[in-house]
Chain A
């Protein structure tokens, strides 16, 4: 085992043993669901179904039911798409990037953060699909031989890059998540008594037996997948930003977009993880595994990425003036003082000022404060996308076609509906899946568990030497 400094706060509080970890994580699955779960699930389901209804109406009637007009041809749908994809950036960042950096605190949150990621990317995927209007021809985005002559999709277009980026990101995230889940499903399979759940978990666990060679492969596959997923995380939101950056619209045509979008995505993703995790740890009594220290680490990430985003906003503003391009300058003057000033200043307050409060240790260790800020940040990040998209196009080169965007009730219904569906999925996950990686938590118990950490080393000192032989350990 790698020794960890005694000054560091333990990551697993209380005097847990291996079997305690299993029991703590499996308990919410084995127990009857609390009443609150049914209440939340019903609310989420009703909202989600309203969204599904709105989508059916939209597809049946056509995208004319959206609040778009001839000047603003792209607004609510792309805002929501980028918002959800951004949220979907935290999970893989936590499980892949933090794995490469050997951050043990990721163990407590990676499972549910990645579930959150997958569901968020699902929700994101809805928007480009429905905005086609004729969803049944969505497969036209794929380069497949067709009856229209030798007509192919345009590989020069960032919109097509998006098709590849999002589908790769979603499928690789699902695989990464599921490979980690298999040993934990095996734990559940060997624990549950009732025949139907046993059968289900038996199928889900793929017959995992925990042989030494299996674990050897498991560790390497996790490491390589992390190595592949890390550039993937950065590429996905870079490509999303290319949707705008490669156009010649003042306000979009900006080289700063890729890093700025990626930082913003991590920022909003971590905020969503905080929102969900703070409720989950309480509801499922996982306070020993996800505690103030984890929240603090995540708040530091929020602070850093929030600062990057803030710097990007101000750089953008400065460059619009410094470039000397009057259209560019006008786009930004219009942003902060035009009819959408309230959206711009909401974005500035939520995304630039609020994360700076995390410099205070008291605040970033306060769970209530974190919860409030995490919601504020996601509101701010929604406004960021709305500001970038709508405020840049609502006043184009021809003042006679200047216009405003007002969302229709179908716009609102679809958006709120995706939030509902997202929670439906997340609540189902929390009910039936192990929300913490049981096997991985056990590997850090001896180095970061409270009872082991400060105990004298009883097993001699030759273990550190053994570890050197295995290059895959972490």
Chain B
């Protein structure tokens, strides 16, 4: 189904933020904001939930800890126990101090790379993917607010344009998308 999208462009992050607040108060749904840098405080206004990537990082981290522990226990205790000066070599616990550095490094490695990969996949940013920002200036000094007509069925295009006028945009654009 064809959908109409309105792009309102601003030249200041605070103006956009105030505008979004005004629109949301009137019941308008702001679908997306494109900006050249993070606008602090915009997420709760347009209803974006905080990311859960931090939880993922923790899960990757404990996976790393577990893998390192299991592997080192197998290599050093079970498969080829080393006898260094007759020191105890038959339990993991008694030998654990020497394994802490690698456990730590492997935990960090898994957490960091796991999180980074999830971040790329969730953002749909991978090498070769096309950019989706509506205007090339949104990576420089312009901020764009996107309103979708399908998500604002209580309003007509004219009403939305009227409301947007009060927010102080610098340019307005409309597009048909699928």
A positions within 8 Å CB-CB of B: 1, 17-19, 22, 143, 150-156, 158, 160-161, 164-165, 167-168, 171-172, 175-176, 179, 182-183, 186-187, 189-191, 202-221, 224-225, 228-229, 231-232, 235, 239, 242, 438-440, 442-443, 446, 459, 463, 466-467, 469-473
Contact = CB atoms under 8 A, between A and B. Distances in A.
B76 A442 contact: no
Interface stretch (B138-146, B151-159, B169-177): B138-146
B71 to A, nearest CB: 7
Nearest to B134: A209
A303 B84 CA distance: 43
Contacts of B131: 186, 189-190, 202, 205, 207-209
Interface residues of B, number: 67
Contacts of B36: 18, 22, 183, 187, 210, 438-439, 442
Which label, helix, strand, loop or mixed, suits the secondary structure of the A interface?
helix
B109 A172 contact: yes
B22 to A, nearest CB: 12
B164 interface: no
Contacts of B44: 466, 469-470
A216 B79 contact: no
A225 B50 contact: no
A215 to B, nearest CB: 4
A22 B33 contact: no
Given A213-B123, A214-B123, 4 more contacts: A182-B125, A207-B128, A213-B48, A467-B41
Contact of B102 (A161, A439, A471): A161
B129 A225 contact: no
Interface in B92-138: 95, 98-99, 101-102, 104-106, 108-109, 111-113, 115-116, 119-120, 122-133, 136-138
Nearest to B110: A168
A175 B112 contact: yes
A152 B75 contact: yes
A472 to B, nearest CB: 7
Contacts of A212: 32-35, 39, 42-43, 46, 48
Contact of A471 (B50, B106, B113, B129): B50
A377 B53 CA distance: 41
A191 to B, nearest CB: 7
Contacts of A207: 124-126, 128-132
A141 to B, nearest CB: 12
A230 to B, nearest CB: 10
B79 A152 contact: yes
Contacts of A168: 105-106, 108-109, 112
Contacts of A190: 131, 133, 136-140
Most buried by A among B32, B44, B105: B105
A202 B127 CA distance: 8
Which label, helix, strand, loop or mixed, suits the secondary structure of the B interface?
helix
Given A143-B71, A179-B119, A187-B36, A18 B140 contact: yes
26 contacts: A18-B140, A19-B140, A19-B141, A150-B80, A152-B76, A206-B125, A207-B125, A208-B139, A210-B36, A213-B123, A215-B37, A217-B53, A218-B38, A221-B53, A225-B112, A229-B112, A231-B108, A232-B108, A440-B37, A442-B36, A466-B40, A469-B41, A470-B41, A470-B43, A471-B50, A473-B40
A154 to B, nearest CB: 7
A463 B44 CA distance: 13
B115 A224 contact: yes
Nearest to A208: B125
B14 interface: yes
Contacts of A22: 36, 140-141
A97 to B, nearest CB: 15
B105 A235 contact: yes
Contacts of B136: 190-191
B120 A206 contact: yes
Contacts of A171: 109, 112-113
A164 B72 CA distance: 13
A439 B37 contact: yes
A434 B25 CA distance: 39
Given A152-B76, A186-B131, A210-B133, A221 B119 contact: yes
A216 B48 CA distance: 9
A156 B76 contact: yes
Given A207-B126, A459-B14, A466-B40, A228 B32 contact: no
A164 B106 contact: yes
